Amino acid sequence: MKQAGRRRRRGHAVRWLGWLSLVAAVLGIVAVAVIWHPALAPIEATPRFEPGLVERGARVAALGTCAACHTVDPARPFAGGFALATPFGTVYSTNITPDARTGIGTWSEEAFNRAMRKGVSRDGHLLYPAFPYNHYARLSQDDVRALYAYFMTRPPLEAPARRNEMTFPFGFRPLVGFWNILYLDDEAIRPDPKQSAEWNRGAYVADALAHCSACHTPRTRLGGPDNQRFFDGGEAEDWYVPALNARSPSPLPWTRDHLAAYLRTGIAPGHAAAGGPMQSVAENLRHADPADIDALATYIHSYLAQAPARDTPATRRGSLPAPKPDDPDLARMRLGHQVYANACARCHDAGRTESSGTALQLQQAVALYDPDPRSLIHLVRDGIAPPDGEPARWMPGFGAILTDEQTAALAAYLRRYGAGQPDWPELEKQVRKGKE
C-alpha cells in the first residue's frame, strides 16, 4: 500500500513537472518571438529620391516635430543627443542623419519602416518607447516613405549615441518587448463618417504624426498611454501638460481660430505663450502645411469645446490685489505680492497686445489654473527664450534671483489672488524638487 501511494505521488510529480516544462517552453518561445528581431542588411549607397517626395517628407517631419527631440544644437539638426527624462530614467535621442557610422546612413527603407512601426533598430535591438513608435506605427506607408527620403537627404553629421541612464531594471531592453504587447497598436486610423474630412485629417495628424496624446494623456505605471483618460492631461520633461477636453484648466475658452494660431506661432489672444516642451512643438509646426495645422486645430478643438464655462478672474483687468488683512497665510502672501510687484507687475499688469512688448495679464495664464504648480515654477525660474536669432515673445527667468521661499510665496500668491483657486498641496516640496 505504501509503495503504491509513493508511485502515485511520484506519477503526479512527474506529470506536474511535465506540464511546468511545457509551460516554460511555451513562455520561452513567446519571449523569443517578442524580444528577438534579426538584424537587417546595411545598404551600401544612399538611394535617389524625387524632390517632391523629399519636400513632402519635410512637411511630415514638421508635423511629427522630429527636430524637437532629435536636435540639441540648431547648427547640427537631427544629430540627436537630446535628454528626455522619464520616470524610468533618462533616454538620449539618436542621430537620424545619414551618417554611415553614427546615424542611419546604412539603413534601408525596410529598416526605417520597422523602426517606425515596431520600435526595432536596424541591428535588431528594441528602441525605448520614449521614441513614440506606438503612434508612428499608424502612419500611412506613403508618409513613412516620405520621411525616409527626407532624413536620408539631410547633411550627414557624425554624432555617436549617448549612453542612456536608466534605473534598474528598465535598462534591460528585452522588457520593452512585453511593453509592446500591452501598448503597441498598429491598426490604421479609420475615418469617422460622422465627422468632416478636415476633422478626420486632424485626427490622423494628432494621433499618428504629432502624437499629441503622448503628452496630453496620462500614463499608466508601466509608462503606457492610459486611453481610458484620453486627453485628460499628462506631463513631459517635468512640466504639467494641460488636459485638452472637458478637464481643460484654461481660464478662457479656446476658439478654433485661436488654437490654429497658437499651433502655428506659439501664441494666441487671451492665452499664455507656449513654454517648455510645447514651445519646441510650435517651432516645428510653423513649418508644416497650413491646411494640416487647420485640420489639427479642428480636431483638438472638438475636445476642448467640451470644457464648461468657468467663472474665473481671467476677464478682470488691472493689477493683482494686495493680500487681504485677514488672510490666514498673510506673511507668505505678502512676500508673494512683494515679489510679484517687483518682478512681474511691470510687464504683466499692462496686458498684451499684438505688437506690444508687454505680457499677458496673469489672471489669464493657464499655469495658475493647472492642478499642480510645476509649469509655473519652471516658467518663473527659466522664463521663455525664443530660438537663437529669431524674434519672438521673451520672458526672463528669475531662478538666479529668487530664493526657494520667494518662488513658493509667489506661486502661492498667484494661485490665490491671480486665479482664485485652492492652494496647491506640498508647494514648497515641488519648488525644491524642481531644482534637482
Q: Read off the pTM.
A: 0.89
Residue 27 pLDDT class (50, 70, 90 cuts): very low
φ, ψ for residue 235, nearest 5 deg? -155, 155
Residue 111 predicted with pLDDT over 70: yes
CA distance 275 to 257: 20
CA distance 130 to 80: 13
pLDDT per residue as tens digits for the range 174-195: 999 999 999 999 888 999 999 9
CA distance 67 to 80: 9
CA distance 216 to 206: 11
pLDDT, averaged across the chain = 90
Residue 150 predicted with pLDDT over 70: yes
Residue 29 predicted with pLDDT over 50: no
Closest CA to 272 of 414, 93, 76: 414
CA distance 91 to 74: 20
* pLDDT score, position 413: 98
Residue 421 predicted with pLDDT over 60: yes
* pLDDT score, position 311: 86
DSSP calls for 25-57: HHHHHHHHHHH--PPPPPPSSPPP--HHHHHHH
Residue 299 predicted with pLDDT over 50: yes
pLDDT per residue as tens digits for the range 221-236: 999 999 999 999 999 9
pLDDT per residue as tens digits for the range 323-339: 999 999 999 999 999 99
* pLDDT score, position 147: 98
Would you state the cell numbers that stand for residue 35, as one nine-digit string?
Answer: 524580444
Domain ranges of the chain: 51-183, 197-304, 315-433
* Cross-strand bridge partners of residue 83: 92
DSSP H or E segment with residue 121: none
- CATH number of the domain at 315-433, out of 2.60.40.1110, 3.40.50.1460, 1.10.760.10, 3.40.50.20? 1.10.760.10
Q: What value does the mean pLDDT take over residues 197-215?
A: 97
Express as a percent the part of the chain with pLDDT over 90: 81
Bond from prior residue into 249 cis (ω within 30 degrees of 0): no
Q: What value does the mean pLDDT take over residues 16-31?
A: 43
What does the DSSP 8-state code read for residue 208?
I
* pLDDT score, position 317: 76
Residue 107 predicted with pLDDT over 50: yes
